[in-house]
Amino acid sequence: MTRSTPGRPWWRGGVCYQVYVRSFADSNGDGTGDLPGVTARLPHLASLGVDAVWLTPFYPSPMVDGGYDIVDHRDVDPLFGSLADLDALVAEAHRLGLRVVCDLVPNHTSDRHPWFRAALAAPPSSAARRRYVFHPVDKDHPDRPPNDWRSAFGGSAWRRVPSPDGGPDEWYLHLFSPEQPDLNWDDPQVPAEYADIVRWWLDRGVDGLRIDMAHALFKHPDLVDAGAGQHTEFRRNHLMPFFDQAPLHTLYRQWRAMVDAMPGERALIGEVCLFDADRQARYVRPDELHQAFTFELLECDWSAPALRDTIGRTLEAYRRVGALPAWVLNSHDAVRTLTRYGGGERGLRRARAAALLMLALPGAAYVYQGEELGLPQVDLPDEALRDPLWERSGRTLRGRDGSRVPIPWTVDDGTYGFSPDGADPPWLPQPDGWGALSVQRQTADPESTLALYRSAIRLRRALSDGAADELTWWDTGSDVLAFRRGDGFGCAVNVGDRAAPLTGVDRVLLASAPVPPACRSLLLPPDAAVWFVPA
Ligand code: NOJ
């Protein structure tokens, strides 16, 4: 049975584990992870102590963008199993006390979606075309797209298509690959369809939906130019005419009312990618989304002033609307922390310290599969790359496959427990020696990163029950970032490259690296974090 604390829904302070289904566990030996594979491995998540699991898209899809190009929003791709497999997964998760969140992709569909096929078969200005963002070709400049919008995967965000009746060509918008046409949220059929999809999944028993590109959907009505920095300078996202448009808030208010009327603690979780803390917080006002991913930590440098400023500003913006952040350090779209922080031993030390920092902060936290194993980004050979970014950037950007490599469960060779014996090779190759980082190996080692995550998530639950959502900074005047949760436990992180003294410590509760015993003060090693009882 899933846990429920009166007045404190799971989505306010819980830990959610992100499963990238393709790369988690392969039950049938075809080299791709699937839903029965996830079900079989749920005990790993239960032993980690997380509250919820988010499954990335498993819907019928040509898999141009890893399943974020959906053909049918109410079914399961045979590659991943069946609806019955999903039901079994949800039932088993609930039995283990885990909630299940599925992905909802409302900004675009696959170009094979029946709606888009109908649009291409219909003439300009037809009702079928109005469900997407079509635009007439300028007769004087037939090769000039309607504006300067860029696709996140490279090139113009517009593709020209012929009219089936021999009439003039039209452009259609795709903020991602051309195989992912953007929907027109100003057409009433689109919100009506998605309201139905949301209800359909929640009625089926899932506990929440993670809304892909939740800050997109509506586009500026005049399709004005976006200028420089599109999809690269994320801090300017809120200024882009294809993001953060006012009607989103009306939409999310409608969805919130619908979802809150359902029994249980259901949640709408927005992939809101705005780095203006106040603009971001607007999405989690009390009558809008339950959570919005807070990517601030993921984008922040390993520096005490930068981290203090980022965390402080974010908490304050959320506090003003009565919400808490949902912190993220890793995802299937980002370079893994260990590599981001410099790789090797130092990268690992920092990744472990960052985990204790994130898990000590007020709010919810997301853990991406393999993060609890301290996996590095994998450097894959060119021929293995599958991310559309690789080809569409003219092979200049390697893309996100390096954080999507199937994870190691066992020490043995072969697929390290990802697939059964005799299976096809995994869809992305696993590096040699991957088994040294496996769940099996790390379970046997009390100093492992897995052991650290297990301890931290369990302790966090016990500590958070008593600690307030307020955070008070301690002025250490050094490279040590330190704070206290209400009048509860403290957390200190040394982001400098020298050991630093920390005073006012009664007892260390958990440390990311060996620390000498504390007697009111302790010497915190570089790139290390501790949780402690203040003196
Ligand atoms: C965000 C998803 O996390 C990413 O993987 C995907 O490529 C884009 N949205 C487009 O759906």
pLDDT in tens, 305-333: 999 999 999 999 999 999 999 999 999 99
Q: Please, which pLDDT band fits residue 521 given cuts at 50, 70 and 90?
A: confident
Q: Indicate the top mutation candidate among 23, 55, 68 to test ligand 1's pocket, ranked by most ligand atoms within 8 A of CB.
A: 68
- The catalytic position among 26, 179, 271, 527 is 271
Give me the percent of the chain exceeding a pLDDT of 90.
93
Q: Indicate the top mutation candidate among 328, 333, 335 to test ligand 1's pocket, ranked by most ligand atoms within 8 A of CB.
A: 333
Nearest CA to ligand 1 atom 4: 333
Q: Mean pLDDT throughout 253-270?
A: 97
Q: Is 293 in the pocket of ligand 1 (CB under 6 A)?
A: no
pLDDT value of residue 466: 67
Q: Please, which pLDDT band fits residue 253 given cuts at 50, 70 and 90?
A: very high
Q: Can 271 be counted among the known catalytic residues?
A: yes
Q: Please, which pLDDT band fits residue 486 given cuts at 50, 70 and 90?
A: confident
Point out the least confidently predicted range of 95-109, 282-296, 502-516, 518-532. Answer: 518-532
The answer to whether domain 114-173 has CATH 3.90.400.10 is yes
Q: Can 196 be counted among the known catalytic residues?
A: no
Is the per-residue pLDDT at 34 higher than 90? yes
156 forms bridges with which residues in the sheet?
Answer: 150
436-440: list long-range contacts, CB under 8 Å, 24+ apart: 436/411, 437/373, 437/374, 437/375, 437/408, 438/373, 438/408, 438/409, 438/410, 438/411, 439/44, 439/373, 439/408, 439/409, 439/410, 440/409, 440/410, 440/411
Could you tell me the two tokens for 58?
């498993």
CATH assignment, 468-534: 2.60.40.1180
The answer to whether domain 10-109+199-453 has CATH 3.20.20.80 is yes
Q: For residue range 104-159, what is the model confidence (pLDDT) as tens digits?
A: 999 999 999 999 999 999 999 999 999 999 999 999 999 999 999 999 999 999 99
Cα distance between residue 439 and residue 51, in whole Å: 19
Question: Per-residue DSSP letters for 418-465?
Answer: SS-TTPPPPSSPPPTTGGGGSHHHHHT-TTSHHHHHHHHHHHHHHHHH
Atom nearest to 107 CA in ligand 1: 11
pLDDT value of residue 361: 97
Is the per-residue pLDDT at 79 higher than 80? yes
Q: Please, which pLDDT band fits residue 476 given cuts at 50, 70 and 90?
A: confident
pLDDT value of residue 310: 96
Q: How far apart are the first and last CA of the chain?
A: 38
Q: Is 68 in the pocket of ligand 1 (CB under 6 A)?
A: yes
441 forms bridges with which residues in the sheet?
Answer: none
What is the model's pTM?
A: 0.97
99-104 and 52-55: which strand pairing? parallel
**Pick the residue with more confidence: 466 or 121?**
121
pLDDT value of residue 464: 82
Q: Return mean pLDDT, the chain.
A: 96
Contact 375, 448 (CB under 8 A): no
Is the per-residue pLDDT at 4 higher than 80? no
Q: For residue range 197-243, what is the model confidence (pLDDT) as tens digits?
A: 999 999 999 999 999 999 999 999 999 999 999 999 999 999 999 99
Q: Please, which pLDDT band fits residue 447 given cuts at 50, 70 and 90?
A: very high
**What distances in angstroms separate CA 49 from CA 45, 253, 443, one per listed residue?**
6, 32, 14
- The catalytic position among 51, 69, 212, 401 is 212
Q: Is 65 in the pocket of ligand 1 (CB under 6 A)?
A: yes
pLDDT value of residue 475: 78
Is the per-residue pLDDT at 355 higher than 90? yes
Nearest CA to ligand 1 atom 2: 212
**What distances in angstroms separate CA 170 from CA 52, 399, 504, one per listed residue?**
44, 30, 68
Give me the percent of the chain exceeding a pLDDT of 70.
99
Q: For residue range 330-351, what is the model confidence (pLDDT) as tens digits?
A: 999 999 999 999 999 999 999 9
Domains 114-173 and 468-534 equal at CATH topology level: no
pLDDT value of residue 518: 64
Q: Residue 331 is inside which H or E element, if any?
A: none
Cα of 331 vs centre of ligand 1, distance in Å, is: 10
pLDDT value of residue 150: 97
Nearest CA to ligand 1 atom 11: 68
Point out the least confidently predicted range of 89-93, 302-306, 521-525. Answer: 521-525
Is the per-residue pLDDT at 167 higher than 80? yes
Atom nearest to 176 CA in ligand 1: 10
Q: Is 212 in the pocket of ligand 1 (CB under 6 A)?
A: yes
Annotated domain spans of the chain:
10-109+199-453, 114-173, 468-534
Q: Is 341 in the pocket of ligand 1 (CB under 6 A)?
A: no
